[in-house]
Structure formats: structure tokens, C-alpha cells
Amino acid sequence: MSHPHPELPDPPPLADGGLRIVALGGLGEIGRNMAVFEYDGRLLIVDCGVLFPEPDQPGVDLILPDFEYIRDRLDDVEALILTHGHEDHIGAVPYLLRERRDIPLVGSKLTLAFIEAKLTEHRIQPAKIEVVEGQRDRFGPFDCEFLAVNHSIPDALAVAIRTPAGLVLHTGDFKMDQLPSDGRLTDLGAMARLGSEGVDLLMSDSTNAEVPGFVTSEREIGPVVDEVIRTSEKRVIVASFASHVHRVQQVMDSAAKYGRKVALVGRSMVRNMGIARDLGYLQVPPELIVDSRDIEEWPPEDVVLICTGSQGEPMAALSRMANRDHPIRIAEGDTVLLASSLVPGNETAVNKVINGLTRWGARVVHKGNAKVHVSGHAAAGELLYVLNLTRPSNFMPVHGEWRHLRAHARLASLTGVPDDHIVIAEDGVVVDLIDGQAKIVGAVHAGYVYVDGSSVGEITDTSLKDRRILGDEGFISVVVVVDSQTGKLTAGPEIYARGSGIDPMQFDEFIPQIERALEAKAADGVVDMQEIRRVVRRTVGRWVSDTYRRRPMIIPVVVEV
């Protein structure tokens, strides 16, 4: 197998007739999916998604791919293909279009409708090209064929990309539900046809590569949802992804069956389900929907609420309900149904929400105690099926953490793909398909770009480290006034502390140590303000560490007179 290396060089110029693939996100992580294809000087992008922050990234709202690799070549981009409408595949599109607004967006009807609604908030009118499964279009040198795949959102697509360098099949996110609730099957016949034609490189979803067998059908969830709503004595509150149309349909069907009204809670949920209903992907019985602001007028036993927050997001509706920071108040006897899978890394946040809901008397039904969700990603049995159908000459696992990529690579090896034709890459690693073989040839920068409020890219890893220190250890600020000519202390030190856990009275005993350290530097003729700051920082830091075994942020402020 071809493995990435931490010291990979800059890639050489792409050889004539070769195809270059660079993932700017989605390899070694769950989310931020973005792959750039290059042939004959032209570029094609597949997906442009976001990654959601973890607890050790305080203040960060979203994490984007780094566009630096293509920033000077945006005019070479033929199109941006969006495989489906999940945030980890479309969430970064507004930020890319800020840099070139007329990049054609290619996708299915629902996917384009979701991204258009998002772009409206950014005041961007996109150039759209709607495609359907079975359609074949050319974008510059890229001949693209679109295949239906089943996923946890309607209208998902895989894409086969043909160039003179070879045929690449990119599955996007998919599974092989044989009884999908919308009747739209993954097109295995088309995959087999492509396999007969000759797939030179298969790039396949790895998220569930460690899970044996086949994913359970969505239809098996319906009876469980039905039972929860039937047996609940008071309100039912269902938390789901704002894009999971299938799950919302199941909830609405059960609510209608038992004479309950449905209220949608959360801006993204209201927006997405409105789009899905208008386009015919969501069937809403007459007079089923009521405004969430009027929900208190209905008896609790006649109500179902569908909201966001299944991943414990702090600002989502469910988290705010758990914290009693929402107009809808959780009451004794309510039932809360977490109808989604648990995204890795969100376990602590979700458990906190479950505990908060339980505190107010709610019964919480979740994946850990009931069959209320099935994954949208193919398990190992399905991945093997696709590998055997397509019989690729080369294989590159995508969309997953390292353990998922390696597990998927092992599956490819078992099906007969030669080990030296299996490429395990990470974000930024450059893979060239030349003369029928895919090889790693170098690497480009593909770091995190943080969105914090209205700022994009201004927050760095150093900033986050400072935030973590402030959050964990607090800070100490030391103000001194020194003579700019002699370096001698003329006033201070004055010490201010927040969150450090240190008794301010203790500083009075310590101030003479700072004075002695500064006097010693002045005696040596030191007048450089930067050096004086370092002396203050080291002196305070050593005292705090020795006395309290703590490492707060120390901010020396030196005023010259």
C-alpha cells in the first residue's frame, strides 16, 4: 500500500496526460469533504464542506478547507460538483464563492435548493446546473456521469469522471438500502457497467468500513418511531439533523396517524423542510403543521415537535431546552427522541443534553436504548460489494478517520486490488493517476481555516491555544512603568488576575521578587522593552508554577516614560 509521509516534498508539475487528485479535506476526519481534480491545466472540484469544531477549539463556529492551493487558479475551475446536501459536503460553498462567485454548482434538485437557500443568506446568487442520475455532462476536459446512490438525505449522487488519463468513480456518501423509504436505490447496475468499462481509480466512502455486514434498512425505523409516539402520554420532541427528510417524513406520518399536530423548531429545520415539501420530497398531510409559537395552546398529548440539536450543539433548540433557555419548556412526562447517529467527538455534549432533559422529567429515547436510527453510510459488506462490482485498478479510501481509511484499504486488498495500487492519503497529499497507476507524488498545505463569528481565517492554532489556556488556567496581567533611558522601575508592579485561582493577597508577598529581577536587568544596562517583558513573564511564571503548580497566561504590560 502507498502511505503518506510527514516529509513529503512539493509535488512536481503534472505530467502530460496525467490526472491529479488533491483532497483538501475529508481524509483522516469526518467532515470538510473537498477533492480537487486536475487535468490539462483545468480543475474540477467535488464537494466543499465544513467540519464542526471540537471542545478543544473554543469559540470556533465552523472549520473550512484551506483554499490556498487553488486560490491563484480559481479561473481554471470548470465546476463544483455537490454529491448531496449535507453540511459536511456543501457548508463551505459560500466561502469559496466569495472568492469567485460564478463557479458553476452542479448537483441534484434538492442539493441545489439547499445550497441556494444557504447562499441567499450570504447574498450570493449562484450559477447552477441541475443534473439527475443517468445524466452525462462535460465540464471542460472532465466527462462526468451521475449515478443514484442511497444516503440519509434524498437525491444523493455518485460521479464517474472520465478523462484521457482514466475513469475515476467517486461514490460520495452512500449506502445500499434495499428497501429505502423513498424507493430510490443505489444504482448497482451502473456501477457494474462502469466496472466492465474499467474503473482506473475508485474513491469510496469509508465512514463505516469497520462495521461488519450491511446497514439496516430505513424502513425498520418507522415502527420504532411509531411506537414511541403511540405510547407517549405527553409531548414528543424529536431531534434530528435538519436535512434528514426521510426521518422527518416518518415522524410526520406517525404523528398524523395518532392525531397529533407537528411543529418544526429551529431555523434550519423550518427552512430545509419547507424546501423539501415545496419540491415534493416531503409529503405533509393537510393541517398537520402548526406554528411552534402556538404550541402551548395544544394539549401536550396532541403535540409532536421536530427540532435540531441531536448532536448536542450548544445553540441548537434541544440543548437550549435542556438548559431551560428556550420558550419550549421540558416538563415531567415529555418524551424526547434523538433520531440520529452520534457523530464521533460529540459524545460528551450529547450526554450532557440527555442528562439535562432527564433532570426536568423527560424520558429520552436514543440509539443506545432503542433502534431509532440507522447509518447513512455503507458498512463493510456493502463496501466489499462495490469493490467487487467495479473491480478498480487502483483504490483510494475517502471520507473517514484514519482507522476507517485503513479498514477500507484492507477490504480492497482482500478483493484483489494490488497493495501497491492502494493509496491511503491524508488532506493535502497529492495523488497522480498516470499510465494506469495512482501514486503519491508530494503534498500541499491543507490546514484548518477557522470561522469565528464574522472572521474567516483570522483565528490561528496559536489563538486557540491561548483560548484553551485562558479557559483552563485564567490569566495574570502585570503592569510596570520603567525609565526608557535606564530601564529602571519607576512605578508598579501592579498585578491583576482572573480565573487563575490565586488569592490576590499573595501577590503582595511576591512583588519584591519582580522588583529585584528588574533591578538586576537595569544594573546590567538592559533597556530593551521586549527583554523587560520576558523578565516579567519568566519571573511571574516561575513563581506561579513553583507555588501553585499552575500555568496561567501571563500578560506583561511595560509602560515607558
pLDDT in tens, 133-150: 999 999 999 999 999 999
The residues, any chain, with a CB within 8 Å of residue 248's CB and separated by 6 or more, are 240, 273, 276, 282, 306
Q: Give the model confidence (pLDDT) of 185-216 as tens digits.
A: 999 999 999 999 999 999 999 999 999 999 88
Percent of the chain predicted with pLDDT > 90: 51
Confirm whether 5 is a catalytic residue: no
Please identify which of the residues 47, 66, 155, 205 carries the catalytic annotation. Answer: 205
Supply the pLDDT for residue 328: 84
Supply the pLDDT for residue 376: 87
Annotated binding residue 445: no
Q: Could you tell me the pLDDT band of residue 249, with boundaries at 50, 70 and 90?
A: very high
pLDDT at residue 440 tops 90: yes
Annotated binding residue 374: yes
Q: How far is CA 91 from CA 49, 82, 94, 118, 233, in A?
A: 5, 11, 7, 8, 38
Supply the pLDDT for residue 55: 59
Q: Could you tell me the pLDDT band of residue 493, with boundaries at 50, 70 and 90?
A: confident
Supply the pLDDT for residue 546: 78
Annotated binding residue 173: yes
Locate 439 and state its grid cell: 501514486
Q: Could you tell me the pLDDT band of residue 157, with boundaries at 50, 70 and 90?
A: very high
Supply the pLDDT for residue 5: 56
pLDDT mean over 356-367: 85
Q: What is the mean pLDDT of the chain?
A: 86
Instruction: Mention the CATH class of domain 218-365.
Output: alpha beta
Locate 18 and state its grid cell: 496525467
Supply the pLDDT for residue 242: 85
pLDDT at residue 496 tops 80: no
Closest by Cα among 106, 174, 186 to 142: 106
Q: Please tell us whether the domain made up of 461-560 is placed in CATH 3.40.50.1100.
A: no
What's the pTM?
A: 0.83
Please identify which of the residues 366, 377, 404, 421 carries the catalytic annotation. Answer: 377
Supply the pLDDT for residue 377: 92
Query: Beta strands of 378-435 (E only): which ranges?
Result: 395-398, 429-434
pLDDT at residue 467 tops 70: no
- What is the rounded distance in angstroms from the CA atom of residue 159 to the CA atom of residue 143? 10
pLDDT at residue 345 tops 80: no
Contact 36, 45 (CB under 8 A): yes
Query: Beta strands of 318-390 (E only): which ranges?
Result: 335-338, 363-365
Annotated binding residue 377: yes
Residue owning grid cell 434524498: 154
Q: Could you tell me the pLDDT band of residue 519, with boundaries at 50, 70 and 90?
A: confident
Lowest mean pLDDT among 158-167, 226-235, 331-340, 369-378: 369-378
Lowest mean pLDDT among 50-64, 101-115, 171-185, 222-236: 50-64
pLDDT mean over 322-326: 84
Annotated binding residue 84: yes
Supply the pLDDT for residue 314: 64
The residues, any chain, with a CB within 8 Å of residue 101's CB and separated by 6 or more, are 124, 125, 126
Domain extents in the chain: 19-214+376-459, 218-365, 461-560
Supply the pLDDT for residue 464: 62
- What is the rounded distance in angstroms from the CA atom of residue 192 to the CA atom of residue 389? 5
pLDDT at residue 108 tops 60: yes
Checking DSSP bridges between strand 475-482 and strand 455-456, what pairing results, if any?
A: unpaired
Q: Could you tell me the pLDDT band of residue 559, with boundaries at 50, 70 and 90?
A: confident
Annotated binding residue 452: yes
315 compared with 210, residue with greater pLDDT: 210
Supply the pLDDT for residue 454: 58
pLDDT at residue 495 tops 60: yes
pLDDT mean over 99-104: 94
Upstream peptide bond of 493 is cis (omega within 30 degrees of 0): yes
Confirm whether 205 is a catalytic residue: yes
Checking DSSP bridges between strand 42-46 and strand 62-64, what pairing results, if any?
A: unpaired
Topology annotation, domain 19-214+376-459: Metallo-beta-lactamase; Chain A (3.60.15)
Q: Could you tell me the pLDDT band of residue 315, with boundaries at 50, 70 and 90?
A: low
pLDDT at residue 457 tops 60: no
- What is the rounded distance in angstroms from the CA atom of residue 85 to the CA atom of residue 476? 46
How many CB atoms neighbour CB 171 within 10 A? Answer: 26
Supply the pLDDT for residue 218: 84
Annotated binding residue 326: no
Q: How far is CA 77 from CA 18, 21, 66, 108, in A?
A: 17, 14, 16, 20
Tally helices (H) and strands (E) across the chain.
15, 25
